[in-house]
C-alpha cells in the first residue's frame, strides 16, 4: 500500500498545475527539449510591466556604488596596470533586504491578480523573507516551509534568523529537519489550501530578476559610458545568474561576461543530516550550484525557468574563509555591513579584478541584509561549536566540513575556476538519462542542448558520442 508521501507525490503534476496557474505540457517539444522562450514569456508581462509592478511594490532602483577603497586594495598587490574597478548593486535596499524581493514581487502580483488567497514557498533563505514581506503588503496569507534543523534539532543561526524575519512579516513558518520531505510537505499544503506555489523557479519569478541586470547595465552606461565588462553573480539554484544575464542582454550588454560564483563545499552532501551543520553557508554554495546547473529540472516545477548554464561564461569558487574575510573588508573599508550571500560574489570579484586591466569594470550584482543570526561572527561561533577548526592562514588549505581558514592577507584570495566543460557533460548525461530508454536525440534536441549548455551542436554531439562509448 503506498504511503501518504507516495500518494501526494503521485499527484504532483495535478497539484502544481493548479498551484501555478499554468500547464507546462504546452511547452514540451520532446523528451529532452521544450520551448524555453515560450515558457519565459507565457506570463504575458513585458519588462516594462515588471518594472512598474516592482516599483509599486517598493522593489528595485537600488543604489549602484563604486567601491573605490576595495579597488585601491586590489591594485596595491596586482601587477602594474592591472586591477579592475569594482562596483556593487546594493540590493539590501529592497523591502526585505535582498534581490529575492524582485522575484517575490512578481509571484505575489500573479497570486493577487489570479485570485489566490495566499502563497506557499519552500525555502530556508532570503526568498522566504521576500515572499513574506510582499504577501504582507498585498494582504495575502503566507506559509513558508523551511529545512531548519538536523536530527538533534540544532539549527544554524542564519537559518533561524530567516525564520524570525518571515514570522515578523506575518508568515506561518513550518520548520522541518533536513531530508527529502520538504517538497512533499509543500505539495500537501498546496493541495489543502489551494494557495499559489511561489516557486523560486517559476517563469514569472525568474523574469522578475531581469530588471536587476537591466538596471545595472543602464546605470553603468550612465556612470562609465559603457556596460560593465564583467558581472559576478552568486550562484545557487540558478535564478540569480539566469535573470541577471537575461536583463543584461535586454539592455544590449551582450559583450558583458557573466561570471557565476559559489562557495566551495565539495565533499558535503546537502541532504545529509551529519553534513547539514558542518557548513557555514545555507545558499550560494556548490551543493546547490553544481546540481542545479547540471540538472535544473530537479526543481519543484516541471520545467525550471532558472537555467544558469545557458548564461555562464565562467564559474568561480571561493572558500568560506575568503568570504568571511571580504565581509570584514566590506565593513571596514567601504562602510557596508552586508550578509554572506552577496559577499560570495564579492570575494570572487576581488580575485577576478586582480587579473583584469585597470580599465575593466566588475559589478557584483547583489548585496543582502545582515542581522544577528546572519552575521559572520555568529556563523563562525556556531562552526566552532560544531567542531570546525577556525583559524587564520592560507585559505588554499581549506577542507569543507573540517576547517574555515581566514586569509591573513588580501592577496591570498584566489578564486578557482570550476570547469564548465565538466558541467556541460554532466548536463547532457542527465538529459539523456531522463529520456526514455533507447531514445535517440533529434536535431532539435541537439540544438536545445547546445543552447542550454551555452555551447554548440558540435560540442553536444561529441559529448553524446563519448557517453555512448562509456
Question: What cell was used for 138?
Answer: 498585498
**What number is the average pLDDT over the span 329-344?**
95
Among all chains, which residue has been given the C-alpha cell 579584478? 353
Distance, in Å, from the CA atom of 369 to the CA atom of 67, rounded to the nearest integer, reads 18
> What confidence tens digit (pLDDT) does each residue in 189-248 have?
999 999 999 999 999 999 999 999 999 999 999 999 999 999 999 999 999 999 999 999
Quote the pTM value.
Answer: 0.96
pLDDT band of 12, cuts 50, 70, 90: confident
Supply the pLDDT for residue 183: 83
Q: Is pLDDT larger for residue 60 or for residue 373?
A: 60
Please determine whether the domains at 4-52+98-205 and 55-95+207-417 fall in the same fold group of CATH: yes
Decide: 357 and 456 in contact? Cβ < 8 Å: no
Among 238, 421, 296, smallest CA distance to 246 is for: 238
Neighbours of 380 (CB within 10 A): 18
pLDDT tens for 124-175 read 789 999 999 999 999 999 999 998 898 999 988 999 999 999 999 999 999 9
Per-residue pLDDT, 3? 72
Contact 293, 427 (CB under 8 A): yes
pLDDT digits (tens, 9 = 90+) for 86-118: 999 999 999 999 999 999 999 999 999 999 999
CATH for the stretch 4-52+98-205: 3.40.50.1100
Find the mean pLDDT for residues 29-50. 97
210 vs 17, more confident: 210
Tell me if residue 411 falls in helix, strand or coil.
Answer: helix
For the chain, the structural domain boundaries read 4-52+98-205, 55-95+207-417, 425-469
Class of the CATH-defined domain 55-95+207-417: alpha beta
The per-residue pLDDT for range 304-324, each reduced to its tens digit, is 999 999 999 999 999 999 999
Which residues lie across from 65 on neighbouring strands?
88
3-state secondary structure 288-350: HHHHHHHCHHHCCCCCCCCCHHHCCCEEEEECHHHHHHHHHHHHHHHCCCCCHHHHHHHHHHH
- Model confidence at 300: pLDDT above 90: no
Q: Which three cell numbers stand for residue 280?
A: 557555514
* Predicted pLDDT of residue 223: 97
Torsion of CA 51, 186, 167, 105, to 10 degrees: 0
pLDDT in tens, 397-450: 999 999 999 999 999 999 999 999 999 999 999 999 999 999 999 999 999 999
Q: Considering the chain, what is the average pLDDT of its residues?
A: 95
The pLDDT assigned to 222 comes to: 98
User: Which residues make beta-bridge pairs with 378?
Assistant: none
pLDDT, position 1: 56
Dihedral (Cα; 77, 84, 90, 304), 10-degree rounding = -110
CB-CB neighbours of 430 under 10 Å? 16
54 band by pLDDT with thresholds 50, 70 and 90: very high
Whole-angstrom Cα distance, residue 23 to residue 302?
Answer: 9
The C-alpha R_g of the chain, in whole angstroms, comes to 21
Amino acid at each position: 500500500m503506498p504511503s501518504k508521501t507516495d500518494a501526494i507525490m503521485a499527484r504532483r503534476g495535478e497539484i502544481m498545475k493548479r498551484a501555478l496557474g499554468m500547464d507546462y505540457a504546452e511547452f514540451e517539444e520532446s523528451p529532452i527539449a521544450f520551448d524555453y522562450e515560450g515558457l519565459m514569456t507565457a506570463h504575458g508581462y513585458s519588462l516594462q510591466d515588471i518594472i512598474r509592478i516592482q516599483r509599486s511594490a517598493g522593489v528595485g532602483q537600488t543604489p549602484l556604488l563604486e567601491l573605490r577603497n576595495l579597488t585601491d586594495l586590489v591594485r596595491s598587490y596586482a601587477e602594474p596596470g592591472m586591477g579592475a574597478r569594482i562596483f556593487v548593486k546594493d540590493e539590501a535596499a529592497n523591502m526585505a533586504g535582498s534581490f529575492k524581493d524582485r522575484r517575490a514581487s512578481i509571484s505575489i502580483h500573479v497570486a493577487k491578480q489570479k485570485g489566490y488567497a495566499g502563497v506557499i514557498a519552500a525555502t530556508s533563505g532570503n526568498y522566504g523573507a521576500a515572499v513574506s514581506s510582499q504577501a504582507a503588503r498585498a494582504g495575502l496569507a503566507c506559509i513558508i516551509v523551511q529545512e531548519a534543523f538536523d536530527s538533534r534539532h540544532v539549527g544554524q543561526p542564519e537559518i533561524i534568523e530567516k525564520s524570525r524575519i518571515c514570522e515578523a512579516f506575518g508568515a506561518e513558518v513550518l520548520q522541518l529537519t533536513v531530508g527529502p520531505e520538504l517538497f512533499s510537505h509543500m505539495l500537501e499544503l498546496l493541495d489543502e489550501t489551494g494557495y499559489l506555489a511561489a516557486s523560486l523557479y517559476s517563469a514569472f519569478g525568474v523574469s522578475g530578476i531581469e530588471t536587476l541586470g537591466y538596471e545595472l547595465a543602464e546605470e553603468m552606461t550612465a556612470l562609465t559610458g559603457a556596460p560593465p565588462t564583467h558581472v559576478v553573480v552568486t550562484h545557487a539554484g540558478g535564478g540569480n545568474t539566469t535573470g541577471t544575464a537575461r536583463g543584461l542582454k535586454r539592455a544590449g550588454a551582450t559583450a558583458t561576461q557573466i561570471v557565476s560564483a559559489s562557495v566551495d563545499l565539495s565533499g558535503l552532501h546537502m541532504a545529509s543530516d551529519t553534513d547539514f551543520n558542518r557548513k557555514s553557508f545555507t545558499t550560494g554554495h556548490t551543493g546547490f550550484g553544481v546540481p542545479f546547473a547540471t540538472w535544473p529540472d530537479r526543481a519543484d516545477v516541471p520545467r525550471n525557468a532558472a537555467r544558469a548554464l545557458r548564461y555562464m561564461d565562467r564559474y568561480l569558487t571561493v572558500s568560506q574563509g575568503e568570504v568571511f574575510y571580504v565581509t570584514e573588508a566590506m565593513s571596514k573599508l567601504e562602510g557596508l555591513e552586508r550578509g554572506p550571500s552577496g559577499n560570495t560574489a564579492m570575494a570572487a570579484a576581488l580575485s577576478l579584478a586582480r587579473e583584469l586591466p585597470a580599465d575593466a569594470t566588475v559589478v557584483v550584482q547583489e548585496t543582502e541584509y545582515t542581522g544577528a543570526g546572519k552575521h559572520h561572527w555568529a556563523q563562525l561561533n556556531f562552526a566552532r561549536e560544531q567542531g570546525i577548526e577556525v583559524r587564520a592562514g592560507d585559505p588554499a588549505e581549506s577542507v569543507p566540513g573540517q576547517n574555515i581558514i581566514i586569509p591573513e592577507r588580501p592577496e591570498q584570495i584566489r578564486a578557482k575556476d570550476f570547469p564548465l566543460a565538466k558541467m556541460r557533460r554532466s548536463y547532457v548525461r542527465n538529459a539523456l538519462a531522463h529520456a526514455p530508454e533507447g531514445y535517440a536525440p533529434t536535431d532539435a534536441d541537439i540544438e536545445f542542448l547546445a543552447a542550454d549548455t551555452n555551447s554548440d551542436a558540435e560540442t553536444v554531439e561529441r559529448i553524446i558520442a563519448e557517453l555512448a562509448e562509456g
